[in-house]
C-alpha cells in the first residue's frame, strides 16, 4: 500500500508547476523523496532551484496541498533541503 500511495502522490505532484519555469516540481527534479507509511502519513523531501528562491513558501504549500488531496493520505510533512544542491542537470528530459 505505501509504495502505491507514494506513486499516487508523485503523480499528483506532477500538477504542481514552478510558476517561473512552467514545469512540474517532479520534472524539475525538486522532489528528492516521497515516503508513505501504512497509515497514510506521507513525508516529502524537496528542494528549490536556489536557496533564496522567493517561491519557496508557495512551492512547499502547493506540494503539501497536492499530496494531501490524494485519496488515502492522512497527513503530509514537507521538508526542505538544499543537500544535494539542485542543478539544471536534474531536469527530466522532455
CATH number of the domain at 29, please.
3.30.300.130
Q: Is residue 66 part of a domain?
A: yes
Q: Is residue 19 part of a domain?
A: yes
- pTM of the model as a whole: 0.94
Rounded to whole angstroms, the Cα distance separating 16 from 60 reads 10
Q: Is residue 22 part of a domain?
A: yes
Cα first-last separation, the chain = 30
Q: Is residue 16 part of a domain?
A: yes
Q: Is residue 92 part of a domain?
A: no
Q: Is residue 30 part of a domain?
A: yes
pLDDT in tens, the chain (94 residues): 588 999 999 999 999 999 888 999 999 999 999 999 999 999 999 999 988 889 899 999 999 999 999 999 999 999 999 999 999 999 987 6
Q: Is residue 93 part of a domain?
A: no
Domain range for 34:
2-87
Q: Is residue 50 part of a domain?
A: yes
| Total tally of structural domains belonging to the chain | 1
By CB atoms closer than 10 A (0-12, 13-18, 19+), residue 47 is buried
Amino acid at each position: 500500500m505505501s509504495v502505491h500511495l507514494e506513486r499516487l502522490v508523485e503523480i499528483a505532484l506532477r500538477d504542481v508547476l514552478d510558476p517561473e519555469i512552467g514545469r512540474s516540481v517532479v520534472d524539475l527534479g525538486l522532489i528528492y523523496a516521497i515516503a508513505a507509511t501504512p497509515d497514510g502519513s506521507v513525508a516529502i523531501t524537496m528542494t528549490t532551484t536556489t536557496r533564496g528562491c522567493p517561491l519557496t513558501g508557495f512551492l512547499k504549500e502547493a506540494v503539501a496541498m497536492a499530496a494531501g488531496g490524494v485519496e488515502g493520505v492522512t497527513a503530509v510533512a514537507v521538508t526542505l533541503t538544499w543537500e544535494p544542491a539542485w542543478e539544471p542537470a536534474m531536469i527530466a528530459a522532455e
